[in-house]
A and B are shown apart, each in its own frame.
Chain A
Amino acid sequence: MKNNKIFTIMLITVLMVSATGFSQQKITVKGSDTMVILAQKWAELYMKSNPSASIQVTGGGSGVGITALINGTTDICNSSRPMKQTEIEKLKARYNTLGVQIPCAKDGITIFLNEANKVQELTLKQLSDIYQAKVKNWKDVGGNDAPITVYGRENSSGTYVYFHDEVVKGDYAATVQTLPGTAAVVNAVKKDVNGIGYGGAAYAVGVKHAKVKNDTNGPAFLPTAESIGKGEYPITRYLYMYLRNRPTGENKKYIDWILSQEGQMVATEVGYFPYK
């Protein structure tokens, strides 16, 4: 009898909490710095055509966005890399879901060089050697006799992780100067004649793109719509949105719009590429 009473109290509490739990809030989007310009543009245009919608976009890096998704402080997480198994395990432990991965655009990680740099193309191996400080002088990769200044992102960045896993495939050298955001990397390379950096294509203003090739004998490609669309550019990746649960209500309407032709055109205008 006593047990039944406690069951009843708990059930009532559950129902009360359920009723408050489903009230719709404004949409918060957090994560990838690479995607922040794109996400802000999407939010701005969507809110213009849907005045009742309220979307707040912030950056911080893919890692920060995924942590916010796990902690429940954001509705949508933007990430320029897939979630790691350890992060999915945390989501499972806290929300009992595997998370929902939505590819929303394609990006080619662009290699930024100063406009005065005479190097035109680099292989994946050369990039790996440069970021591991195995190659320290531009003359070793066809440039002038000058030391290479290497710029990169902080470890909370999805681009940092993707570049590490797919290109560097080893430890970043301690000499890599970490900067907060792709814009800061571009700015540093713009001012530094011996600089090299990497980041999303949309930020590359005032610097030149290096062509990238898989190996010495293969063709080199610039990150263009065509080369990325065909999968020829060697450092092509998807950009993702992650949610804790399958989207419903306002979240679903917003994501459907992003994946529509109109939303994908925005991705192209900003400097990225349609997800399919």
Chain B
Amino acid sequence: MKKLLAITIFMMVSVYGYSQKQNPDSLKEVIEKHEGRLNALDERVLVNEADLGKLNKIKVSGYIQAQWESYGKDLEKSNGYNNTFYIRRARVKFTYEALDGVKFVLQPDFSTGNLVLKDAYAVVNIPKLKDFTLWTGQFNRPDYEVEYSSSQREVLERSRVIRTIYPGEREIGVKLEYVGSTIPLKVQLMAMNGNFTAAQAKDVDSKKDLMGRIVYSIKLPDAGIGIDFGANGYFGGNLAKTNPYISNSDGTADSVKVWSYLDKNWVGGEVQIFADVLGGMAIKAEYIAGINSTASTIAGTSTMAQMKASPNLFNNFSGYYLYFIKNIGPKDQFIARYDYYDPNTKLSGDAAGNNIYYTTWTVSLQHYLNDNIRISLNYEMPKNEINASNSTEKKDNVLGVRIQAKF
């Protein structure tokens, strides 16, 4: 202890003595030297801050959905197995916000054996029209269930009608979107190629398909209720490029000119009701009906018999879904969904052949383990129309358990 005290006193005296020996000029020199160093450091900090600022504009988020499913006997026959583990989705989303109102988004999906680009688009706020944005690239079609992220959706899969008419959910095109800051109105207008599959990066005809959606929101804060309701429509078509035969909704085989345009038009209505009743509750529904066409992919060099056997399809269809969602405390949810899809509304019974309608009950439980992890237990029970071609109720129920990790 004494030793330590002696060393401290010695050091203090030395420092005092040293400072006494310094003349003002040399002190000024030291200050200038340090000032120079500080200025250099300042510059480096500014450069680093600018670099960090750029990095701050990049946001990385994503989610992984690991799943186990067990299938009914008919699905087992077609699949060759009655249960499986698999990765349903493994997505990483990169968002770069270059400026206020300019955003670039890139989202690949890395699920096993299925590396695909899901989103690649730019969103720009239109100058002087702050409520308008312009979207270009590949992104979700404007429809409630399509745009509702699969990381948030309360059941494992979208309803059958939406899966059928909007395969893959995305399209390549341009969208003008208005989200009112003073009136609770949302309007979306989209022009797109209209033939999107992962393999078709460009349009297959010159005509563009159009889609529109309008949603108005009503809030009743005293009652704890919010209602969003709206309408949507799709107006486009397919080109009958190779096959001069068509199968109409009424089952008649007709002939069309090769290169004629088969309409694909439908309209829909939607409503979502949110109610603050013992922990939150929602009822969501959408109804869509119209004409869907499918261009035959059979080659132009095929025989007439082959072309007749695989004609272009031109069918009236309808479908809807109805969700009931109840929050139970802050971490759990119970969900029941009923959905219906009829691919050909003009034919029923034996005349419908394999174009039978389906109704599906889905029940699900969600548990949020924490901010990042959600566990889902889901049971899907489809019921098919019975006719001569489908004489029994198919055993195609699916039990699924999913763990979702989101960051």
A interface residue numbers (CB < 8 A to B) = 3, 6-7, 10, 13-14, 17-18, 20-22, 71-73, 85, 92-98, 100-101, 171, 174, 244-246
Contacts and interface: CB of A to CB of B under 8 A. Distances in A.
Interface in B127-169: 148-149, 152
A97 B152 contact: no
B280 A95 contact: yes
Nearest to B381: A3
A93 B148 contact: yes
Contact of A21 (B149, B181, B279): B279
A6 B363 contact: yes
B371 A14 contact: no
A23 B100 CA distance: 43
B66 interface: no
B281 A96 contact: yes
Contacts of B202: none
Contacts of A95: 279-280, 327, 330
Task: Indicate the member of A72, A73, A100 with the most B CB atoms within 10 Å.
Answer: A72
A73 B334 CA distance: 21
Contacts of A92: 226, 274, 282
Contact of A14 (B221, B328, B331): B328
B325 interface: yes
A72 B330 contact: yes
Nearest to A92: B274
A92 B227 CA distance: 11
A13 B329 CA distance: 13
Given A6-B363, A244-B330, A96 B152 contact: no
B307 interface: no
Given A97-B274, A98-B276, A101-B221, 5 more contacts: A14-B332, A17-B328, A85-B179, A96-B275, A96-B280
Contacts of A94: 152
Nearest to A170: B100
A6 B276 contact: no
B227 to A, nearest CB: 10
A245 B279 contact: yes
Contact of B331 (A6, A72, A100): A72
A72 B279 CA distance: 12
Given A22-B329, A96-B282, A100-B224, A174 B50 contact: yes
Contacts of A101: 221
Given A21-B329, A21-B330, A245 B371 contact: no
Contact of B328 (A21, A98, A100): A21
B96 interface: no
Given A21-B332, A73-B371, A246 B276 contact: yes
Give the interface residue-count category, chain B. Answer: 35 or more
A74 B367 CA distance: 18
A42 B37 CA distance: 48
B266 interface: no
13 contacts: A3-B381, A6-B399, A10-B363, A14-B328, A14-B365, A17-B331, A18-B329, A22-B329, A93-B149, A95-B280, A96-B274, A96-B281, A174-B53
Contacts of A22: 329
Contact of B280 (A10, A18, A245): A245
Contact of A10 (B179, B275, B365, B367): B365
Contacts of A171: 99-100
Interface string B165-203: 000000000000001010000000000000000000000
B328 A18 contact: yes
Contacts of B363: 6-7, 10
Contacts of B257: none
Contact of B219 (A18, A21, A96, A98): A98
B110 interface: no
A97 B280 contact: yes
Interface in B215-254: 219, 221, 224, 226
A98 B226 contact: yes
Contacts of A246: 224, 276
Contact of B332 (A17, A71, A93): A17
B261 interface: no
A257 B50 CA distance: 47
Nearest to B284: A96
A73 B276 CA distance: 19
Contacts of A245: 224, 276, 279-280
Interface in B274-312: 274-276, 279-282
Nearest to B53: A174
A91 to B, nearest CB: 9
B101 to A, nearest CB: 9
Q: Which 3 A-B pairs have the closest CB atoms?
A: A21-B329, A96-B282, A96-B280
A14 B334 contact: yes
B379 interface: yes
A125 B168 CA distance: 49
Contacts of A14: 328, 332, 334, 365
Contacts of B152: 93-94
A92 to B, nearest CB: 6
Given A17-B329, A21-B329, A21-B331, A244 B379 contact: no
B368 interface: yes
Contacts of A73: 371
A2 B233 CA distance: 40
Nearest to A86: B179
Task: Indicate the member of B328, B332, B399 with the most A CB atoms within 10 Å.
Answer: B328
A101 B219 CA distance: 12
Contacts of A17: 328-329, 331-332, 367
A97 B152 CA distance: 15
A55 to B, nearest CB: 18
Contact of A98 (B99, B221, B331): B221
A265 B340 CA distance: 58
A101 B330 CA distance: 18
Contacts of B279: 21, 95, 245
B329 A20 contact: yes
Contacts of B367: 17
Nearest to B181: A85
A174 B57 CA distance: 13
